[in-house]
Amino acid sequence: MMYASHPLGPDPTSATSAPTPSTLGETSPGAVRLRVAPSPTGDPHVGTAYMAMFDLAFARQQGGKFVLRIEDTDRARFNETSEQQLYDTLGWLGLRWDEGPDVGGPYAPYRQSERLETYRPYVDKLIEDGHAYYCWCSQERLAQLRADRAAAKSPQTGYDRMCLGMTKEERAKLPGFTENPVVRMRVPDDVELGFDDLIRGHVNAPRPDDQVILKADGFPTYHMAVVVDDHLMGIDTVVRGEEWISSTPKHVLLYQWLGLTPPKFAHMPLLRNTNKSKISKRKNPEARLTWFQEQGYLPEAV
């Protein structure tokens, strides 16, 4: 099946003629490939530079490659000026990438919005194999479900699987139906919640719910797109913040269902304020990378 056998080597039909920076030199056989994958939803977060710094340092140490991928599938929060700000601020800090939307590379395109046809076959395979299903529940119905559970102080969270096993016609006879379905992954009752982390050792995560993997607008969610893209781009080491620990069992499941080898995971501690709270762009001006430029900081100081 095509889903499990995509080559990790360069595809000459997708190669670009754009110049590639030689920051890391030639990749040696078996060398690591790491990526930073920010979403263009506003001013770049300082956490993006934080992760990129570790990605780049490890890639340099190992003689590997550092990739910049733009994860722009959240069209509701998309900010068209944010992508250029990412190039400008990361470049200002000297965190240069070997492959990316602006410089090209053997796995182009590096914007997820330009890769929509790539994801659909993987989603269809999950549906065919019984690992995913269509959900026709309206946003109003889901909001009411959350409100009812909150009022009842129910410990249950996540989707209640109302649409599981139903055809569109059967579901249409019930309240809270919408013509435009999403696709959800079907998480088994015996899902493995533990995984090995390069930093933390063996980690146990909370049980995931039936996560949406394809939205009604045809765009994949983060969880689906990141698995497909990391595989196709040959990413073998994923460095990200610890807030993604709870999502890792979902990602490992998707890799297993698709017959793919998952990367190694390294979950970094978050950047925090002096009072231990998470740095937020809504509350902390210094969470924005552009703030340091505006205040006259030297990139070396940052």
Cα–Cα distance, 95 to 174 (Å, whole number): 53
Tokens of 210: 């039936």
Quote the CA–CA distance of 166 and 143 in Å, as a whole number.
21
Cα dist from 6 to 177, 231, 256, whole Å: 37, 8, 15
35 - beta bridge partners?
67
250 is catalytic: no
Q: Which two tokens stand for residue 166?
A: 């139903």
Rounded Cα–Cα distance for residues 269 and 266 (Å): 10
How open is the CA angle 264-21-63, to the nearest 5 degrees? 40
Of 125, 215, 250, 281, the catalytic one is: 281
Q: Is 283 exposed, middle or buried (0-12, 13-18, 19+ CB in 10 A)?
A: exposed
Q: Which residues contact 103 (CB under 8 A, 6 or more apart)?
A: 18, 19, 20, 21, 97
Measured distance CA(24)–CA(61) in Å, rounded: 9
Q: Tell me the three-class secondary structure of 96-161, residue by residue.
A: CCCEECCCECCCCCCEHHHCHHHHHHHHHHHHHCCCEEEEEECHHHHHHHHHHHHHCCCCCCCCCC
Two tokens, residue 145: 């479900």
Residues belonging to the active site: 281
